[in-house]
Structure 1
Amino acid sequence: MAVSPSPTFVELGVAAEICDALEGQGITRTFAIQELTLPLALDGTDIIGQARTGMGKTLGFGVPLIDRVFDDARIPEPDGTARGLIIVPTRELCVQVGEDLHHAAASTNLRICTIYGGRPYDEQIEQLESGVDIIVGTPGRLIDLYQRGSLELSGVAVLVLDEADEMLDLGFLPDIEKILAAVPQERQTMLFSATMPGPILTLARTFMQRPVHIRAESGEEEATVHETTKQVVFQSHQMDKVSVIAHILQAKGRGRTIIFARTKRGAASVAEQLGERGFLVTAVHGDMGQPARERSLTAFRTGDVDVLVATDVAARGIDIDDVTHVINHQVPDDEMTYVHRIGRTGRAGHSGVAITLVGWDELQKWKMISDSLNLDMAEIPTWFSNSPELAEALDIPEGVEEKVGPSRPVLGARPPRGRDGRGDRRNRSARGARDGGDGRRPRHGDRRRRR
Structure 2
Amino acid sequence: MSMQVAEESSSGFGALGLDARIVDALGYDDPSPIQRESIPHVLAGKDLVGLAATGTGKTAAFALPMIHLLSQETGRRRGVSAIVLVPTRELAMQVCKSVQTYGKPVGVTALAVYGGTAYGEQIQTIRRGVDVIVATPGRALDLIRKGKMPLETIRFVVLDEADEMLDMGFAEDIEAILSETPSTRQTMLFSATMPPRIESIASQHLTEPVRVRVARPEVSPTEAPKVRQTAFIVQRHHKLPALGRILDGEQPTSAIIFCRTRTEADELTDMLAQRGYRPLALHGGLSQENRDQVMKKFRSGTADLLIATDIAARGLDIQQLSHVINYDVPTQVEAYVHRIGRVGRAGREGVAITLATPREQSALSLIERVTKTKIEFGRVPTAADLRIKRAGRTEKRLRDALVNLNVSDEIRGMMGVLEAEFDPKQLLLAAAVLLTQSNSDDESLGDIPTVMPGSRREPRDMRGDRFGDRNNDRFRDNRGGYDRSGGRDSGPRFPAGGDRDRRAIGSRPTAEGMRKVFFGAGFDAGISARDLVGAIANEAGIPGKDLGAIDITDRFSLVEVPEDVAEYVIEAMQGSRIRGRKVNVRADRPPRG
Is this contact kept in 2: 1:277–1:405, CA < 8 A?
Answer: no
In structure 2, the gaps of 5 or more residues are 1-8, 218-222, 395-434, 440-572, 582-593
| Partner of residue 97, structure 2 | 99
Identical positions, percent: 37
| Partner of residue 227, structure 2 | 230
Distance 1:196 1:204 in 2: 10
| Partner of residue 412, structure 1 | none
Residues 1:320 and 1:59: Cα distance change in structure 2 (over 3 Å): farther
Q: Establish whether residue 19 from structure 1 lines up as the match of residue 23 from structure 2.
A: yes
What is the aligned residue count?
389
Residues 1:342 and 1:175: Cα distance change in structure 2 (over 3 Å): same
Alignment of 1:1-20 (within 5 A): 7-20=11-24
Distance 2:62 2:11 in 1: 17
Q: What is the CA distance between 1:364 and its match in structure 2?
A: 3.3
- The Cα offsets for residues 338-370 of structure 1, whole Å up to 9 and x where unpaired, read as 234334446688775533222334223333444
Local SS of the residue matching 2:13: coil
TM-score by length of 1: 0.74
Residues 1:404 and 1:162: Cα distance change in structure 2 (over 3 Å): farther
Of structures 1 and 2, the larger Rg is shown by 2
Residues 1:15 and 1:355: Cα distance change in structure 2 (over 3 Å): farther
| Partner of residue 131, structure 2 | 133
| Partner of residue 142, structure 1 | 140
Alignment of 1:108-257 (within 5 A): 108-217=106-215, 228=225, 230=227, 232-237=229-234, 238=239, 239-250=241-252, 257=255
Distance 1:107 1:428 in 2: 43
| Partner of residue 297, structure 1 | 295
Distance 1:77 1:335 in 2: 49
Which amino acid is 2:115 matched to? G
Alignment of 1:48-447 (within 5 A): 48-71=49-72, 78-217=76-215, 228=225, 230=227, 232-237=229-234, 238=239, 239-250=241-252, 257-301=255-299, 304-305=302-303, 307-320=305-318, 323=321, 325-345=323-343, 353-371=351-369, 373=370, 375=372, 377=374, 381-385=377-381, 399=392, 425=576
Residues 1:14 and 1:348: Cα distance change in structure 2 (over 3 Å): farther
Distance 1:242 1:6 in 2: 55
Local SS of the residue matching 1:180: helix
Distance 2:312 2:75 in 1: 36
Distance 1:364 1:166 in 2: 25
Distance 1:174 1:327 in 2: 34
Distance 2:393 2:579 in 1: 41
Distance 1:92 1:405 in 2: 40
Residues 1:240 and 1:14: Cα distance change in structure 2 (over 3 Å): same
Residues 1:424 and 1:180: Cα distance change in structure 2 (over 3 Å): same
Distance 2:33 2:172 in 1: 32
Local SS of the residue matching 2:255: strand
Which amino acid is 2:49 matched to? I
TM-score by length of 2: 0.58
Is this contact kept in 1: 2:226–2:347, CA < 8 A?
Answer: no
Distance 1:11 1:369 in 2: 41
Distance 1:173 1:404 in 2: 54
Which amino acid is 1:383 matched to? R
Distance 1:240 1:275 in 2: 15
Distance 1:349 1:32 in 2: 23
Q: What is the CA distance between 1:123 and its match in structure 2?
A: 1.5
Distance 1:6 1:348 in 2: 28
Which amino acid is 1:38 matched to? I
Residues 1:123 and 1:359: Cα distance change in structure 2 (over 3 Å): same
Distance 2:97 2:112 in 1: 9
Q: What is the CA distance between 1:299 and its match in structure 2?
A: 3.4
Q: Whose helix fraction is larger, Structure 1's or Structure 2's? A: 2
In structure 1, the gaps of 5 or more residues are 220-225, 390-395, 408-421, 431-451
Distance 1:351 1:80 in 2: 51
Is this contact kept in 1: 2:156–2:185, CA < 8 A?
Answer: yes
Residues 1:423 and 1:80: Cα distance change in structure 2 (over 3 Å): farther
Is this contact kept in 2: 1:54–1:347, CA < 8 A?
Answer: no
| Partner of residue 445, structure 1 | none
Distance 2:192 2:390 in 1: 36
Local SS of the residue matching 1:259: strand
Q: What is the CA distance between 1:424 and its match in structure 2?
A: 6.2
Distance 1:325 1:6 in 2: 41
Which amino acid is 1:291 matched to? E
Q: What is the CA distance between 1:327 and its match in structure 2?
A: 2.0
Root-mean-square deviation (Å): 3.8
Residues 1:149 and 1:96: Cα distance change in structure 2 (over 3 Å): same
Residues 1:308 and 1:6: Cα distance change in structure 2 (over 3 Å): farther
Q: What is the CA distance between 1:178 and its match in structure 2?
A: 0.7
Is this contact kept in 2: 1:118–1:428, CA < 8 A?
Answer: no
Local SS of the residue matching 1:117: coil
Is this contact kept in 2: 1:55–1:348, CA < 8 A?
Answer: no
Residues 1:130 and 1:194: Cα distance change in structure 2 (over 3 Å): same
- The Cα offsets for residues 20-61 of structure 1, whole Å up to 9 and x where unpaired, read as 2222xxx44333322322222233222222333223222222
Distance 1:310 1:38 in 2: 36
Distance 2:346 2:176 in 1: 35
Which amino acid is 1:57 matched to? K
Is this contact kept in 2: 1:242–1:270, CA < 8 A?
Answer: no
Residues 1:279 and 1:35: Cα distance change in structure 2 (over 3 Å): farther
Which amino acid is 1:40 matched to? H
Q: What is the CA distance between 1:173 and its match in structure 2?
A: 0.8
Q: What is the CA distance between 1:279 and its match in structure 2?
A: 4.2
Residues 1:262 and 1:119: Cα distance change in structure 2 (over 3 Å): same
Distance 1:43 1:55 in 2: 22
Which amino acid is 1:235 matched to? F
Q: What is the CA distance between 1:425 and its match in structure 2?
A: 4.7
Local SS of the residue matching 1:59: helix
Residues 1:119 and 1:383: Cα distance change in structure 2 (over 3 Å): same
- The Cα offsets for residues 61-85 of structure 1, whole Å up to 9 and x where unpaired, read as 22222222222x5xx7553411111
Is this contact kept in 2: 1:54–1:319, CA < 8 A?
Answer: no
- The Cα offsets for residues 84-120 of structure 1, whole Å up to 9 and x where unpaired, read as 1100111221122112222222323222111111111
- Tell me: higher relative CO, structure 1 or 2? Use CA pairs within 8 A at least 6 residues apart: 1
